[in-house]
Structures are given as C-alpha cells and as structure tokens.
Amino acid sequence: INAYSPIVLLNTLLFFNTKYFQLKNVTEHMKLSFAHVMRRTRTLKYNTKLTYLRFFPPFQKHDVEPDKLVGKRKRHEGEEAVEMVENTDNPLRCPVRLYEFYLSKCSESVKQRSDVFYLQPERSCVPNSPMWYSTMPIDPGTLDIMLTRILMVREVHEELAKVKPEDSDP
C-alpha cells in the first residue's frame, strides 16, 4: 500500500475502495468515476476537521421510469453514499491523500468524467513524471486480476464480513 509507481498506486486505491466502499467485483468497481467520488470535510467537536472521500453510486436511469425522476439529487433507493475517512495517524496509508495524489498524476480532462476511475498507466513514466496515467480506462481483465489478489487479503475479508445484509423496513 503506497504510491511508489502507477500500478502500485492503482492497487492501493483498489484495496481502499474494496475495503471501505465495499466494492466486491469488477462491475461494482467500474461504477466508480471521478464525478462520483468527492473529497469532503466535516467539522467535529472542538472545531477539529475530518476529511473523507464520499462515493455517490451513479443513478441508473434504466432502473426508474422517466416520470419518477424528481431531481438531480434523487438517488435510486438502496444506493446510498459510502465514505472512507482520512488516516491522520499514518499519512502514507491515508486513502484521502493517496486519492489526491492519484488526481495529481491524472490529466485535467479526466477529473470530472462520470465513466472512468481506474486509468491505464502510461507506458513510459518514472516516479517524478508529472503524468502517470493516460485518459484510457484500465482493462476490466487487468482490474479483475488485481481485484482477485486484493480479495485474498485478510484485512479486506474481515472488513467485508462486518457488513450485514440490510434489514427490511419494519
């Protein structure tokens, strides 16, 4: 987990997104996009600030009849935003800082896209290159290989096991 190279950073982001956003397969990960992941700050007790990333699952237009659409903020029921908070104790393992670093190594043209999150690493880049990633999405097969490794990590297994199926409304 770190940002030594483009592929290591991608694996790190995949790890955090699997663990904290509870994304368990390639299809779920492919729903991630720059437009649906936002950096937020919340004020806590004693005026301390907490920075976190929030993922708003994309609204699936084909799931709802057109006359049922109320507004931009209306989300499909059951698709709630999920968050991952910063790690102030260990900045090298902080998902917020690593996401910001990822953004800094991407082209400006992709930062508002709603159809991509994991980008193809540039073929010839070194750690101090200004751009690490192309504007092309990573191949789903490559993402699947990376995800298979991450799903074997005990820390991820334990986090995914904590999530209980949603109870039905009383």
Reduced DSSP (H G I as helix, E B as strand, rest coil) percent helix, strand, coil of the chain, to 5: 40, 15, 45
Q: How confident is the model at residue 115 (pLDDT cuts 50, 70, 90)?
A: very high
| 10-35 residue pLDDT tens | 999 999 999 989 899 999 999 899 99
Extents of the domains making up the chain:
6-59+81-160
pTM, whole model, 2 decimals? 0.79
Q: Are 90 and 75 in contact (CB under 8 A)?
A: no
Partnered with residue 37 across adjacent β-strands are 55
**In the numeric block, which tokens belong to residue 113?**
């896209």
CA-to-CA distance for 120 and 17, rounded, in angstroms?
17
For position 88, what pLDDT does the model report? 87
Tracing tokens 């990333």 back to the chain, one arrives at: 53
Give me the mean pLDDT over the 107-118 stretch: 93
Query: Strands, DSSP E only, in 62-118?
Result: 82-85
From residue 25, how far is each of 54, 72, 144, 149 by CA, in Å?
19, 27, 8, 12
